[in-house]
């Protein structure tokens, strides 16, 4: 079965600083999803990556999938308190049947 490892597990940054979260897979990634979760709430879809080398951006968040499709990174530029939460990467099983998630990265942004 596919396993996803996220690093770091938790992160505290000063407002305005840049940060990067990594997601490494034990197998080739066919579809890689990034979600954000506020405490006690559901998952909010951020981006989906499928092609090796693909990069997508939304506002100040950029996600990349490496050429070998086994690692993805999420980069936040000029972080704000509103970016605080848990970031989860999820991998598709290539049949659209289910997502396997990493353990999450807990981000706190200090004003």
Note whether 51 binds another protein by CB under 8 A: no
Of the listed pieces 33-41, 56-64, 65-73, 76-84, which binds another protein according to CB under 8 A? 33-41
Note whether 82 binds another protein by CB under 8 A: no
Q: Smallest distance from the beta carbon of 84 to another protein, in angstroms? A: 16
Note whether 85 binds another protein by CB under 8 A: no
What is the β-pairing status of strands 10-14 and 105-110? parallel
Considering only residues 42, 51, 82, 111, which one is a binding residue for another protein as defined by CB under 8 A?
A: 42
Nearer to another protein, 41 or 59 (CB): 41
CA angle 18/24/27 to nearest 5° reads 155
Note whether 101 binds another protein by CB under 8 A: yes
Cα separations (Å) of 109 from 48, 53, 66, 81, 91? 24, 29, 27, 5, 26
Q: Can you state the percent helix, strand and coil of the chain, rounding each to 5? A: 5, 55, 40
Cα separations (Å) of 11 from 5, 7, 44, 65? 15, 9, 19, 21
Note whether 25 binds another protein by CB under 8 A: no
| Residues of this chain that bind another protein (CB under 8 A) | 4, 6, 31, 33, 35, 40-45, 48, 88, 90, 92, 95-104
């Amino acid at each position: 079965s596919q396993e996803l490892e996220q690093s770091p597990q938790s992160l505290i940054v000063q407002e305005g600083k840049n940060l990067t979260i990594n997601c490494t897979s034990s197998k080739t990634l066919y579809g890689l999803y990034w979600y954000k979760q506020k405490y006690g709430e559901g998952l909010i879809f951020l981006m989906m990556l499928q092609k090796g080398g693909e990069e997508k951006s939304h506002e100040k968040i950029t996600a990349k999938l490496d050429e070998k499709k086994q690692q993805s990174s999420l980069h936040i530029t000029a972080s704000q308190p509103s970016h605080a939460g848990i970031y989860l990467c999820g991998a598709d099983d290539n049949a659209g049947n289910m997502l396997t998630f990493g353990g999450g990265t807990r981000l706190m942004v200090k004003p």
